[in-house]
Chain A
Amino acid sequence: MSRYEITVGIECHVQLSTKTKLFSEVDNDARGKEPNSCVSPVDYALPGMLPRLNGEAIKFAIRAGKAMNCEINPNSRFDRKHYFYPDSPKGYQITQFYHPIIGAGYIELPDGTKIRIEHAHLEGDAGKLTHFSNYSLVDLNRVDTPLIEIVSMPDIHSAKQAHDYCKELWRAMVYAGVTNGDLYNGNMRFDVNISLAPEGSDKLGTRAEIKNLNSFRSVEHAVEYEYERQSKLLDKGEKIKQETRGWSDATGKTTPQRSKEEAQDYRYMPEPDLPPIRLSKKFIEEEAAKLPTTPKQYREKFKNIIANDTLEILLDYKPLMEKLAELKEKSVARVSNLFTSVLLAEEKSVEMLNSLPTATQLSELCEMTEKKELSSTASKEVFLRFFDPDMKQKTARDIAKELNLLQENDLSALEKIVDGVLANPATKQAQEDFKAGQEKVIGFLVGQVMKASQGKANPSSAQEILRQKLKN
């Protein structure tokens, strides 16, 4: 079996979280709302309606562009892309085919690889159809939600890289604050173009496009599947058909949807109802300056404090990074561990991320742990209580007190407890075994001390005292 080099280019649609829609002033956030309740006469395409332009979407586009290291074009314009389908009330989508607002740039992957961005443009989203046996229902709530479509160069050469690119792009958009970034609800959707060519060939092969993937995992698996599918065909000497294919998570396969021969002619034309967008250099610079801290800047900031693997996990949660950035450097490592080992293991971690403890709460918790007032177990216990609605207003110390978690650090008091344990006949055998050289029995004895102290003893101090006493 000969080997092939895979080339992947990705188009990504990002729904912008602006207050209102791209061309009208109705609510852009239709989550949990009745179908067709967030629709203006403009979105509904009544006769005589004209699009307005949402300035916030322009600002978001500038920020998104900067988050991808892109040029912002001072002159851009809208075009109409025509097609008939009930999800498109106007019979055309307003997009930027000829003069996009965002020019060339790149996304840098965690390993430093740069994937170039060809351009990105603003456009309105389509509505949603639900199909039943002999009828379909149309929901226009999503019509003209602002989107930016980000078109990458064919710089991606493995399934893993495709996954990483999508994830890094997602992070860039979420950190830029331009999207809710909820993949499950289609806030970002990926169209992946995949082609194979014999290794060393300077020509790209015929590509297949897998449309509408909405998770990083699906992107990775679809690319893997296509590599297998296309290389088998090429091995047999067959040609790859240029076509659009769909991916099924359930079967783990792509299947043909539309071939090039059936491809639609969108009859693009300049949108005559919207004047060109002209942006001054000053305006672009002012908006670009509003770009919040980027994932790359966080990596730079924490690279010597948080282990690389942990950092890459935590980077998926913007509120966490923002919280860590509020803390003193010495607390960062401990809090990042709490987040990784405690919070992310929780079932409700996503909800909990929306109401993180304050920097003061966290700092006090770190201090108490460092001073050994709290054991590491107790520290985790207190940390989780920060998310308890009844406790979240309280300080770390108050919670620790309330739960009786403060460690016994008074050595004389501890010594008394140890003496009590050693005097207990039930530990006699263990003491002898230890003296005879059975090291691990110390654990049992420490456990007894902990039990006697009702968990408040500092285990390492207890062990130290035990060893001293048993030596004599």
Chain B
Amino acid sequence: MKIANKTVTATQLVKDALAKAKHFEDYNIFTFLNEEGALKKAAEIDKRIANGEKVGKLAGVPYALKDNFLSKEGNTTASSKILEPFKSPITATAVKKLEDEDAIMIGRTNMDSFAHGSSTENSYFGPTLNSADKARVAGGSSGGSAVAVALDIVEFATGTDTGGSIRQPASFNGIYGLKPTYGTISRYGVIAMASSTDCIGFFTKTPEDMDLLMSITAGQDKNDLTTLPDYYDKSEAKEVKKVGIIKDFDNDAVSPELSHALKIKVEKLKKQGYEIVELSMPSLKYALAVYYIIVPAEIASNLSRYDGIRYGFRSDNITDLESIYTSSRNEGFMDENKRRIMIGNFVLSSGFYDAYYLKAQKARTLIIKEYEEAFKKCDVILTPVSPNQAFKLGEKVNDPVSMYLEDVMSVPINLAGLPGLTIPAGTSEKGLPTGLQLIGPRRSDKTLINFAKELK
């Protein structure tokens, strides 16, 4: 990562990044470009460097911020209509930590509205295009962030991963994407999708950069009671000897390209002396169903606050209290938002709660236990991130179930709260990037990053 110093100025880094952002405008990566703010901050950092003052570990490093992180620059919209006018008075904990190290946010990135989606096609601002093929999707929901890093506009970008929203777009664009252990980075100031699975993470071009960003942003936060006590910097990377692969995923659902990529990687690992352990994890086939019960329930609940009353979009078509709610929400949310609100409210309804939500929670416990068993047999697990490579724009967006099926390999670890790291795995014959994910036990984030360095 290029850091500003006496020869390379922060202003130059920011100018380059802004120029590239404009050059790639047709990819629809940014919902807001922070030109003025970024240049102002760069000048200030350059002045400190010139004066020999202390600067942060990320001095002058341009980065992109997913549009669901609260910050005072630009409007924080979660790429939705209902929050389009929302200007935040608050800065998210993770953003604050990056800014304290003098990183410079050059823009907010496009995403599926409220992170509901796997392609960034559900954005109120239109889709982001894949970095390798403009006819294909960027992946999602953190599509803008992934493409911003893949096109080398910024050194890194933030993301959120509730069911694969960092790992899948990282895979679709051939870069590194980490979803840390649940509770590692504070969620304070990040617009909630599903509280019990939401994780803050990053897109980078190297595992070394990932390590640095984790070291800066991980840690307990009094404003997020679900954060874990500080562990990242104190933890030691464990030496990986046994790599698990999951038999249950090796079926027709996985595309030939990804099966092939996995096979090549496994052969290489064997040659390098790693032991390959075949795992049977029969509960994983329930993960997607469990995910699409628990997560919509939390979504329906978390989106209740967007009611057109205190902030954000309020419809003009209102006659009474009821219509403030119905019209503002109906006009302000995308179809996919509404679909998930309806599923969520259905599974929480009186009479259905036990049959759906409670049962899903029990199945979730089984999935957690199955991973615990698996990690008695191996150090890390290697799987595809998703069944397919980047698909064509419009291919799945009108078929919600096939879109949901894209998440089948990424959601189990969100349910279990485990860390998962997407690593690039070459380019397929179609010329599309492929990625694979490394999964480890809770708090093994550093082990995953270290292992990714070994695999480079």
A residues touching B (Cβ–Cβ < 8 Å)?
Answer: 41, 44-53, 80, 82, 84, 86, 89-92, 136, 138, 265-269, 272-275
With beta carbons under 8 angstroms apart, the residue of A48, A86, A268, A274 that contacts B189 is A48
Q: How far is the CB of B337 from chain A (nearest CB, A)?
A: 14
Q: How far is the CB of B246 from chain A (nearest CB, A)?
A: 27
Is B305 within 8 A of A268, CB to CB?
no
Is A47 within 8 A of B70, CB to CB?
yes
Can you spell out 15 A-B residue pairs with CB atoms less than 8 angstroms apart? A48-B90, A49-B188, A50-B223, A50-B225, A52-B222, A89-B310, A91-B305, A265-B350, A267-B348, A267-B350, A267-B353, A268-B353, A269-B301, A272-B226, A273-B192
B304 interfacial contact with A, CB 8 Å: yes
Docked CA distance A44–B311 (Å):
10
Is A48 within 8 A of B357, CB to CB?
no
In the complex, residue of chain A having the shortest beta-carbon distance to the beta carbon of B188: A50
**Which of A91, A138, A275 has its CB near the most chain B CB atoms (within 10 A)?**
A91
Is B305 within 8 A of A47, CB to CB?
yes
In the complex, residue of chain B having the shortest beta-carbon distance to the beta carbon of A41: B90
Is A50 within 8 A of B353, CB to CB?
no
B286 interfacial contact with A, CB 8 Å: no
With beta carbons under 8 angstroms apart, the residue of B83, B225, B345 that contacts A47 is B83
Is B301 within 8 A of A48, CB to CB?
no
Is B297 within 8 A of A269, CB to CB?
yes
**B interface, how many residues as a size bin?**
35 or more
Question: What 15 additional pairs, Cβ within 8 angstroms, besides A47-B88, A267-B301?
Answer: A46-B88, A46-B311, A47-B86, A47-B191, A48-B92, A48-B187, A49-B189, A50-B225, A53-B225, A265-B349, A265-B350, A267-B348, A269-B301, A273-B195, A273-B226
Is B348 within 8 A of A273, CB to CB?
no
Docked CA distance A84–B90 (Å):
25
Known: A48-B189, A50-B187. A82 touches B224 (CB 8 A): no
Docked CA distance A273–B188 (Å):
10
Is B350 within 8 A of A80, CB to CB?
no
B29 interfacial contact with A, CB 8 Å: no
B214 interfacial contact with A, CB 8 Å: no
B298 interfacial contact with A, CB 8 Å: yes
Is B196 within 8 A of A90, CB to CB?
no
B residues touching A (Cβ–Cβ < 8 Å)?
Answer: 68-70, 76, 78, 83, 86, 88-90, 92, 187-192, 194-196, 222-226, 297-298, 300-301, 303-307, 309-311, 321, 325, 345, 348-350, 353, 357
Main SS of chain B's interface residues? loop
Is B225 within 8 A of A52, CB to CB?
yes
Docked CA distance A275–B304 (Å):
21
Q: How far is the CB of B146 from chain A (nearest CB, A)?
A: 21
Docked CA distance A41–B310 (Å):
11
Q: How far is the CB of A418 from chain B (nearest CB, A)?
A: 80
Q: How far is the CB of B219 from chain A (nearest CB, A)?
A: 15
With beta carbons under 8 angstroms apart, the residue of B89, B191, B325, B348 that contacts A269 is B348
With beta carbons under 8 angstroms apart, the residue of B92, B307, B349 that contacts A91 is B307
Inter-chain contacts of A91 with B (CB < 8 A):
301, 303-305, 307
Inter-chain contacts of A41 with B (CB < 8 A):
89-90
Inter-chain contacts of B83 with A (CB < 8 A):
47
Inter-chain contacts of A53 with B (CB < 8 A):
225
With beta carbons under 8 angstroms apart, the residue of B225, B301, B321, B348 that contacts A275 is B225
Docked CA distance A92–B88 (Å):
22
Inter-chain contacts of B190 with A (CB < 8 A):
48
Is A50 within 8 A of B297, CB to CB?
no
Docked CA distance A90–B348 (Å):
17
With beta carbons under 8 angstroms apart, the residue of A44, A50, A138, A268 that contacts B348 is A268
Inter-chain contacts of B226 with A (CB < 8 A):
50, 272-273, 275
Q: How far is the CB of A246 from chain B (nearest CB, A)?
A: 19
Is B304 within 8 A of A82, CB to CB?
yes
Q: Pick the 4 closest A-B CB pairs, nearest first.
A: A91-B304, A272-B195, A267-B348, A272-B196
Docked CA distance A138–B324 (Å):
15
Known: A46-B88, A268-B353, A273-B225. A90 touches B321 (CB 8 A): no
Inter-chain contacts of B89 with A (CB < 8 A):
41, 46
Docked CA distance A289–B353 (Å):
40
Inter-chain contacts of B222 with A (CB < 8 A):
52
Q: How far is the CB of A98 from chain B (nearest CB, A)?
A: 10
With beta carbons under 8 angstroms apart, the residue of A46, A90, A265, A267 that contacts B90 is A46
Q: How far is the CB of B199 from chain A (nearest CB, A)?
A: 13
Known: A52-B223, A84-B325. A45 touches B305 (CB 8 A): yes
Docked CA distance A96–B357 (Å):
18
In the complex, residue of chain A having the shortest beta-carbon distance to the beta carbon of B304: A91
Docked CA distance A34–B18 (Å):
45
Docked CA distance A224–B196 (Å):
49
Known: A92-B301, A268-B348, A269-B301. A47 touches B78 (CB 8 A): yes
In the complex, residue of chain B having the shortest beta-carbon distance to the beta carbon of A24: B223
Q: How far is the CB of A252 from chain B (nearest CB, A)?
A: 31
With beta carbons under 8 angstroms apart, the residue of A84, A266, A268, A272 that contacts B307 is A84
Known: A89-B305, A90-B305, A269-B301. A45 touches B196 (CB 8 A): no
In the complex, residue of chain A having the shortest beta-carbon distance to the beta carbon of B346: A267
**Which of A41, A84, A136, A275 has its CB near the most chain B CB atoms (within 10 A)?**
A84
Q: How far is the CB of A216 from chain B (nearest CB, A)?
A: 34
In the complex, residue of chain B having the shortest beta-carbon distance to the beta carbon of A274: B225
**Which of A80, A86, A138, A267 has its CB near the most chain B CB atoms (within 10 A)?**
A267
In the complex, residue of chain B having the shortest beta-carbon distance to the beta carbon of A265: B350
Is B357 within 8 A of A45, CB to CB?
no
Inter-chain contacts of B300 with A (CB < 8 A):
267
Q: How far is the CB of A2 from chain B (nearest CB, A)?
A: 36
